[in-house]
């Protein structure tokens, strides 16, 4: 492959008669890619794959008012000139299409124009108080049986069975654990001799629970806490939990004597 150069900066350049005509014809007939560039004096360089000639295609220099270039002559060759003009039009159209596609690619890569942001969903409303119908109260003896004198661990569990988060006041005055005999006789109550108001308003999500534990010493008590030192004997008992007006189902447990 030979470089064809224009202008007067290399001793290897040849000045050939009618060079513009022959180069123009070669450009229009050539089906092979041509390499172009400009030197400092605006000399157009190109490459033909099948010729040893080094010819000028166009040359020019920049002056204070602009640049002047020699023009390639009208297309000439064995085919009618209209053929070459059509080829030239196709080449120009291809170049314009390449520019358009390049611009489209840039827009695609950069994301194009900024899209408007989707409106954000409004924040959920603050949780409200849990209605009684959404809650379930459970009484839990921590073991099925206890030895007398060891202490009896008891628990109240508040469960949100509703479909949304809510708040519930579970302060100490509202919740209570009661121990009764199987026939309903009162044996002991967590609020009989101990009352205290506490600030407990947990947020309960659907299915979530909160619990409070109490240790019963085994001594009997009564509402308003009258003096007594009687101890509950061994036997079967029931545990019931209450929160405000909500009450659990009774759960049995046993007190057994010392071995």
The answer on 133 and 250 residing in a single domain is yes
The answer on 241 and 146 residing in a single domain is yes
User: 170: domain range?
Assistant: 128-256
Specify the number of domains making up the chain: 2
Query: What is the residue-level pLDDT of the chain in tens, covering all 259 positions?
Result: 433 333 344 333 444 444 444 444 454 454 444 444 334 333 344 444 444 444 334 444 433 333 333 334 455 566 676 766 676 676 667 667 776 667 666 555 555 555 667 778 888 888 899 999 999 999 999 999 999 989 999 999 999 999 999 999 999 999 999 999 999 999 999 999 887 888 899 999 999 999 999 999 999 999 988 887 789 999 999 999 999 999 999 999 999 987 6
Task: Please provide the DSSP assignment of 189-254 as one string.
Answer: ETTTS---------EE-TT-EEEEEEEE-SB---TT------BPPSEEEEEEEEETTEEPPPEEEE
The answer on 248 and 175 residing in a single domain is yes
Among 41, 75, 92, where does a domain finish?
92
Kindly report the pTM of this predicted structure: 0.54
Task: Answer positive or negative: Cα dihedral of 111, 114, 119, 120.
Answer: positive
Among 48, 73, 92, where does a domain finish?
92
The answer on 135 and 242 residing in a single domain is yes
The answer on 235 and 158 residing in a single domain is yes
Among 70, 92, 114, where does a domain finish?
92
The answer on 178 and 77 residing in a single domain is no
The answer on 147 and 43 residing in a single domain is no
Q: What is the CATH number of the domain that holds 177?
A: 2.60.40.2360
The answer on 233 and 154 residing in a single domain is yes
Assess if residue 238 is contained within a domain. yes
Q: Whole-angstrom Cα distance, residue 213 to residue 201?
A: 17
The answer on 250 and 163 residing in a single domain is yes
Which of 37-42's residues contact partners 24+ apart within 8 Å by CB, and which partners?
39/5, 39/7, 39/9, 41/7, 41/9, 42/67, 42/69
Place of tokens 């209605």: 131
């Amino acid at each position: 492959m030979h470089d064809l150069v224009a202008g007067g900066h290399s001793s290897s350049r040849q000045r050939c008669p009618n060079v513009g005509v022959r180069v123009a014809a070669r450009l229009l007939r050539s089906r092979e890619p041509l390499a172009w560039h400009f030197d400092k004096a605006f000399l157009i360089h190109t490459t033909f794959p099948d010729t040893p000639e080094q010819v000028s295609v166009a040359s020019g220099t920049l002056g204070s008012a602009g640049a002047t270039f020699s023009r390639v002559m009208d297309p000439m060759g064995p085919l009618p000139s209209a053929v070459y003009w059509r080829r030239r039009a196709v080449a120009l159209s291809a170049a314009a299409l390449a520019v358009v596609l390049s611009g489209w690619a840039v827009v695609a890569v950069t994301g194009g124009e900024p899209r408007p942001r989707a409106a954000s969903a409004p924040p959920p409303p603050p949780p409200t108080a849990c209605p009684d119908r959404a809650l379930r109260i459970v009484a839990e003896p921590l073991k099925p049986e206890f030895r007398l004198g060891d202490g009896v661990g008891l628990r109240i569990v508040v469960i949100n069975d509703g479909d949304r988060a809510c708040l519930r006041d579970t302060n100490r005055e509202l919740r209570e654990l009661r121990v009764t005999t199987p026939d309903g006789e009162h044996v002991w109550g967590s609020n009989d001799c101990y009352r205290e108001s506490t600030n407990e308003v947990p947020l309960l999500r659907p299915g979530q629970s909160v619990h409070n534990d109490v240790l019963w010493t085994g001594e009997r008590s009564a509402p308003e806490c009258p003096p007594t030192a009687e101890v509950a004997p061994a036997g079967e008992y029931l545990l019931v939990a209450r929160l405000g007006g909500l009450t659990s189902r009774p759960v049995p447990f046993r007190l057994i004597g010392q071995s």
